[in-house]
Amino acid sequence: MSAGLRGIADGTVEYVRGLREDDRPVKVRLRDSWDARTAGVAMALVASLWFSVHGHWAITGSEARWAGCLLAGAGFDVASVDYWGSVLFRDGNISLTIDMLMIASLVVGSFVAAYASGDFRVRKPKLNRVPNYAVGGLLMGVGSRLAAGCNIANLFSGVALLSVHSFLAGAGIVLGVYVMTHYMYREVGCAI
């Protein structure tokens, strides 16, 4: 374990030193220099900070709050819908919350990082893949409700809290990714 932590620390120091000494344009540096170890450490630090400030880290509930706020702004009575009225907005307060701002920050930050690295582009999906996207999205939504949260809530927060359902959900996520990767790439001879 200490060898692994030492490798992360050494890699992060080397990455930061390389960034300081690099004289290429920022766009080129961002495109070529993302380091997974540093990103992992940064995610752990942000998750720890979030946990100490707000509590558990979750995505799907915040996304549902965004949908409820936007629909309420458009004149829809979200309080009459069971999920919004009795769970998300049970206190009657339909307003922005800190976890909603975190979701917006994730979207904006992802866009800025992709744009700055030159990786951002709008793509038209292949029509034969649209059913995969639609069914996959629906299954993820159903799964997030059955597993009492999304993969972020279960793996970042739930496992840290030693929640049994989060360990079970994590095992299901790993198994599902393994099976679907094997299924999706069977035509190209995926070796898993």
Q: Print pLDDT tens along the chain (192 aa).
A: 566 778 778 877 887 787 777 777 766 766 666 666 667 777 778 777 877 777 777 777 778 788 888 888 888 888 787 777 766 676 667 777 787 888 888 889 888 888 877 778 888 888 888 898 899 888 887 877 777 777 777 777 777 778 888 888 888 888 988 888 887 777 666 555
Token duo for residue 71: 């629909």
Q: Report CA-CA distances (Å) from 4 to 19, 46, 75, 94.
A: 22, 20, 53, 45
Cβ-count burial of 150 within 10 angstroms (0-12 exposed, 13-18 middle, 19+ buried)?
A: buried
pTM of the model: 0.60
The tens digit of pLDDT for each residue in 88-116 reads 676 667 777 787 888 888 889 888 888 87
> What percent of the chain is modeled with pLDDT above 90?
1
